[in-house]
Structure 1
Amino acid sequence: MTYLGIDLGTSGLRALLISGDGTPIGTSEHHYNVSHPHSGWSEQDPAQWIAALEAAMADLRAAHPAFADLRGIGVAGHMHGATLLDETGDVLRPCILWNDTRSHLEAAELDQIAGVRDLSGNIVFPGFTAPKLSWVAKHEPEIFARVAKVLLPAAYLNFYLTGAYVADMSDSAGTAWLDVGARDWSADLLAAGGMRRDQMPDLVEGSAHAGELRADLAARWGLNGPVTIAGGAGDNAAAACGIGAVAEGQGFVSLGTSGVVLAARDGYKPAPETALHTFCHAIPNRWYQMGVMLSATDSLNWLGRITGTAPRDLTAPLGETLQAPTDLRFLPYLSGERTPHNDADIRGSFTGIGADTTRDDLTRAVLEGVAFGLRDSFDALRATGATLDQLIAIGGGTGSRYWLKLIATVLGVPLSLPKGGEFGAALGAARLGMAAATGADAETLMTPPDLGDTIMPDTALRADFDAAYAKFRAAYAGIKAVQ
């Protein structure tokens, strides 16, 4: 028997086929575009997701005979996106994505309503789904009047696969319509956003049975038997399942375009005042919290663009020996910030540049600014009682050993690196598909990957970086005062 994990990302879809013992068999990736019709807008045509899915299935069928023995599918998706369907299931408009900021006014209005933070466990961020629908109601009333269902991107793929409207709790927790503690849609939150429960999909746990693969798809894909579709997960919950972060004390730092520090929690411990996200996990009776910064490797990519240098060529001259903090300060707020500031308007800055400043100095300042931004999230998690004595480090930025040593020192915890192979959202989604199809205990399937190197903090430089972090925090206060 084989199982399939689908990672529906913002820029592309990745499908991973695994065996019954969890061994990867094969993968396929297909990419698509994001549309930006206006400044701050970010949209995508769901038809692109379906085209990518069908192409990936064709690839796996052609390359791997074991694909025919598929028995379970799990879908992980980028969160918060508003996919609006009419009563026949047709898409009414392009999906408004997680990084779309047009609804910042609507988000602020919802966030001020009494009880919203208490029920949702979160600040209502502009990227969440509820304010998007408030924006549509205000600016596209003819479309809003026809909305029969609102599906997140992963739930839309579930709909395509099964013909049923079903979503999981981890993904739905990012809508601001879910009572995250009770793991159910909230009548009060829906009413606050002008929505109804019948416009929501049915809810199941991420590892639970959500439906069966449509017969026509099974026939077209050449499958031998019935295929169970799992509830699935939001992308970060699925990534946590892929690296085995499902219980208290387990977590990871993701150094991708955005930066994430995530901690699995055994109980529901919301702290919206910190701007942490508190969401349901993809397995029953578990939650997770995460701090999110919007420009992690994106900050290094930006420096690369303006200097005409590839990011790897920016970091390579630094070597692997950590240096004391630079006197430069870089605030990594190129697109605003979530944790801990919840500030869509703040922008980044360099300070301390002199005639003797070199490209390497600028690079070090960028790496330090991102590390300090991650510490903002790390400290917020610690303040909620999360115990994080070690983190697994994932994401493209982990290719820089200097950056890893810097982050380990700034956070004050060891960072462990997976040896390689599969450990991301697609693997987590495949494990959810296996749990739903076999009835196996989901938690036992969520094992950590084999770990390679562990990067230890540089204790000799810890006090210096603590002092530099304090200056970083002061610099934010200063720039905010003049913006």
Structure 2
Amino acid sequence: MTTTDGRVLALDLGTSSSRALVLTAGDAAPVPGALARHKISPTYGTGGSATIDLHEYVEGLLGCLDELQQNGHLDDIGAIVVSSQWHSIVALDNKGDALTPVVTWADTRSVHLDLGSSFDEHAFHARTGSWLHRLYWTRRIPWLLSEGSPAGFAGLPDLVIERLTGERVTSVSIASGTGTLDLATGEYDDEALEIAGVKADRLPSIVPTGWVAHLSAEYERRWPELVGVPVHPPTGDGAASNVGTGGYDETTAAVTVGTSAAVRVVHPIDGAPELPWELWRYRVDEKRAVTGMAFSAAGNLHAWLTGVLQLTSDEPTGVEIGGSRVIAIPFQAGTRPPATVPSGSGVYFGLSFDDTAADLLAASMQGASLEVDRGLRMLDSLFGRELSVVLGGGGIDASAWWRRCLTATFARPTTVCAEAEVGARGAAAVALGLSPQPGGEHLTPAKADVDRVAALRPRYERLRELAAQAAAV
């Protein structure tokens, strides 16, 4: 890996927005005012579709760079890095043009695979870090092949890199999120490709972390300030967010709350502990993996509920942590694998006429916190210690109540990352070999809050099981 004397231009390819921002060279801190954002509105359909218009997305991102240039923020750039959503896929024709929109992680369309009794999914999961789930290309590619005759497939970040540099490649980090990577070798997994029904030459080539390219002549003319600036391979947003919060070794779990939420630990790929069935594992770069659990309801749940309830405050004002009588099971967007609870399965238990909008909001935020806590305790067990915890992401930055709620639910101190742009910061850290520190406030859980959550937990777990059973009916 290399460092840079210049500032860093970070491209953040999210589900709800694409952004371009400038970071300082030493600590990858956002330069004040040097951020441009293009809002994304995915299209959702009754058949389970959740897609993004590729042309609009890329043009919006290019417009962000134009905005930074107009405001004089593209001077003294020494590197271009990318943090991107995992799991997206686009079907391509034989000229490399898109046949489909960007199919996002939230899309539930795929094919059911019956591989017979000889298929060992536990061995497959241990090797690839994934399951035969609709989230991954092992089920998405057969579905896309059944819908037409694609010549190839790529993810959103692969196509953004191709648009900027002319080279269609992917990173070991992005490829690991497709469910088709052998984590140990860093190459496409033969069994996963056989299941998907494609050869490796129909997918983007995997380049090492140290690979760099440069902008094509078209974009060097458009942004002359970026001539000769190296473009680094993209990092999956989960891995980038972990590193960006300061959670970059096996002593620390990073909890990030954005559109969705996750709890993860970064650790060496060599000598990695055996992967439990309930957790996934992807790659950060050539030497590191990230193991964790993700949750489909977080910032999206908060935004939906504040809108539905027409709340004037984003905080559940007046409600004690763990104090709401209402129990909310946050399955509105279903569950991530290996659980199979479908979307539309959110539940409130214990409603009464004296409950307020703040009670409902608090119950949902508490439910999401308890879900994350389930993953944290699995990671504690896996790594043989009570992990330190850092909190980061837009949801963390926006809600002091949620920060305190998570801290009380975990029943341990937490450190809040001072920077909200953890994905961009982490992508810079991975590409350039940086070790960012959280730099934010330290929270100590209040005993009364911890006790209320502990008393609530058994009831939550019983009702959670009922909700999952009802969703399967």
Tell me the TM-score normalized by structure 2.
Answer: 0.89
Which residue does the alignment assign to 2:235? 233
Residue 209 and residue 481 in structure 1: after superposition, are their counterparts in 2 closer, same or farther (change >3 A)?
closer
Structure 1 residues 31 and 270, CA gap change in structure 2 (3 angstroms)? farther
The offset of 1:348, in angstroms, is: 1.7
Contact 1:110 1:192 in 2 (8 A): no
Report the residue type matching 2:104 in the other structure.
L
Is 2:184 aligned against 1:181? yes
Query: Contact 2:258–2:395 (CA<8 Å) still a contact in 1?
Result: yes
SS across alignment from 2:225: coil
| Cα shift at 1:68 | 4.3
What residue is the counterpart of 1:124 in the other structure? 132
Q: CA deviation at 1:350?
A: 1.2
After the TM superposition, which residues 429-448 of structure 1 pair with which residues of structure 2 at under 5 Å, given as runs? 429-433=427-431, 435=432, 442=433, 445-448=434-437
Deviations 1:254-296 (A, max 9, x none): 222312112112243353521x221111x33111112111112
1:269 is the counterpart of 2:257: no
What corresponds to 2:78 in structure 1?
71
CA distance in structure 2 between the aligned counterparts of 1:477 and 1:287, rounded to whole angstroms: 31
Matched, 1:467 2:467: no
Matched, 1:259 2:267: no
SS at match of 1:230: coil
CA distance in 1, matches of 2:384, 2:220: 44
User: In structure 2, what is the equivalent of residue 315 of structure 1?
Assistant: 316
Q: Equivalent residue of 2:383, what SS?
A: coil
Matched, 1:10 2:15: yes
The answer on whether the counterparts of 1:409 and 1:458 sit within 8 Å (CA) in structure 2 is: yes
In the alignment, residue 473 of structure 1 is paired with which amino acid?
Answer: E
Describe the superposition over 1:422-456 as per-residue Cα deviations: whole angstroms up to 9, x where unpaired. 641122233445x2xxxxxx1xx1312422x2221
Task: Verify the 8 A CA contact 2:429 2:436 in the aligned structure 1.
Answer: no
Selected match of 1:199 from 189, 198, 202: 202
Does the Cα contact within 8 Å between 2:137 and 2:178 map onto a contact in 1?
yes
Q: Verify the 8 A CA contact 1:5 1:74 in the aligned structure 2.
A: yes
What is the alpha-carbon distance in structure 2 between the residues aligned to residue 480 and residue 9 of structure 1? 29
SS in 2 for 1:176: coil
User: 2 CA distance for matches of 1:217 and 1:41?
Assistant: 33
Is the 2:89–2:155 contact (alpha carbons within 8 Å) kept by the matching residues of 1? yes
What are the Cα deviations for residues 106-164 of structure 1, in whole angstroms up to 9, with x where unaligned? 368699932432321222332223311111122x1x333xx23x221111111112211
Q: What residue is the counterpart of 2:246 in the other structure?
A: 244
Task: Note if contact 2:258-2:394 (Cα within 8 Å) is conserved in structure 1.
Answer: yes
* Equivalent pair of 1:253/1:261 in contact (CA under 8 Å): yes
Structure 1 contact 74–432 (Cα < 8 Å) conserved: no
Find the partner of 2:368 among 367, 370, 380.
Answer: 370
CA–CA distance in 1 between the matches of 2:346 and 2:246? 34
> Of residues 292, 295, 298 in structure 1, which corresponds to 2:297?
295
Q: Which residue of 2 aligns with 1:439?
A: none
1:56 to 1:360, Cα distance in 2 relative to 1, 3 A: closer
What do residues 69-124 of structure 1 show as CA deviations (whole Å, max 9, x unaligned)?
Answer: 43321111111111222232211211211110012x43686999324323212223
Paired position in structure 2 for 1:393: 391
Query: Shift of residue 247 of structure 1?
Result: 1.4
- Contact 2:380/2:387 (CA < 8 Å) preserved in 1? no
Indicate yes or no: 2:36 matched with 1:28: yes
Task: Give the conservation status (yes or no) of the 8 Å contact 2:329–2:467.
Answer: no
Match of 1:161 in 2: 164
Matching residue's letter, 1:51: E
Q: In the alignment, which residue of structure 2 is the partner of 1:93?
A: 100
SS at the partner of 1:5?
strand
State the Cα distance separating 1:41 from its structure 2 match: 0.4
Shift of 1:239: 1.6
Identity level (%) = 21
Q: Indicate whether 1:406 and 2:391 are aligned.
A: no
Contact 1:389 1:413 in 2 (8 A): no
Q: Secondary structure at the match of 2:224?
A: coil
Change (3 A) 1:379 1:112: farther
The structure-2 alpha-carbon separation of the partners of 1:247 and 1:204, relative to structure 1 and needing over 3 Å to count, comes to: farther
CA deviations on 1:216-255 (whole Å, 9 max, x unpaired) are: 2112211364121211211111222322322111232122
Asked whether the equivalents of residues 18 and 24 of structure 1 are also in contact (C-alpha less than 8 Å), the reply is: yes
Separation in 2 of the partners of 1:413 and 1:118?
30
User: Is the contact between residue 131 and residue 337 of structure 2 (CA under 8 Å) also seen in structure 1?
Assistant: no
Tell me the CA shift for residue 167 of structure 1: 1.0
Matching residue's letter, 2:390:
I
Q: Relative to structure 1, is the Cα distance of residues 107 and 426 closer, same or farther in structure 2, using a 3 angstrom cutoff?
A: farther
Instruction: Answer yes or no: is 1:416 the counterpart of 2:415.
Output: yes
For each residue in 1:312-332, what CA deviation from the matched residue of structure 2 results, as whole angstroms up to 9, or x when unmatched?
Answer: 1x52333xxx45543321111
- Provide the aligned length of Structure 1 versus Structure 2: 458
CA RMSD across the alignment:
2.5
Which stretch has the larger CA shift, 303-312 or 173-182?
A: 303-312
Kindly provide the amino acid, as one letter, of the partner of residue 407 in structure 1. L
Stretches of structure 2 that go unaligned for 5 or more consecutive residues are: 1-5
Distance 1:270 1:347 in 2: 32
Deviation at 1:462, TM superposition (A): 2.9
Cα distance in 1, alignment partners of residues 24 and 363 from structure 2: 45
| TM-fit CA distance, 1:19 | 4.2
- Structure 1: how far apart are the matches of 2:337 and 2:195? 24
Is the contact between residue 162 and residue 214 of structure 1 (CA under 8 Å) also seen in structure 2? yes
CA 1:401/1:20 → structure 2, altered by over 3 Å: closer, same or farther? Answer: closer
1:418 Cα deviation after fit: 2.8
Give the secondary-structure state (helix, strand or coil) at the position aligned to 1:209.
Answer: coil
Which of 109, 114, 119 matches 1:113?
A: 119
For 1:264, the aligned partner's letter is: V
Deviation at 1:305, TM superposition (A): 3.2
Q: 1:477 aligns with which of 460, 465, 468?
A: 465
CA gap 1:118/1:212 in 2 versus in 1, 3 angstroms = same
Q: 2: CA distance between counterparts of 1:475 and 1:74?
A: 44
CA distance in 2, matches of 1:112, 1:375: 35
Output one character per residue of 1:14-55: Cα deviation in whole Å (capped at 9) or x when no partner.
112234334544221122331224431011122123212221
In structure 2, relative to structure 1, the CA distance for the partners of 1:93 and 1:272 (3 Å cut) is farther
CA distance in structure 1 between the aligned counterparts of 2:246 and 2:418, rounded to whole angstroms: 14
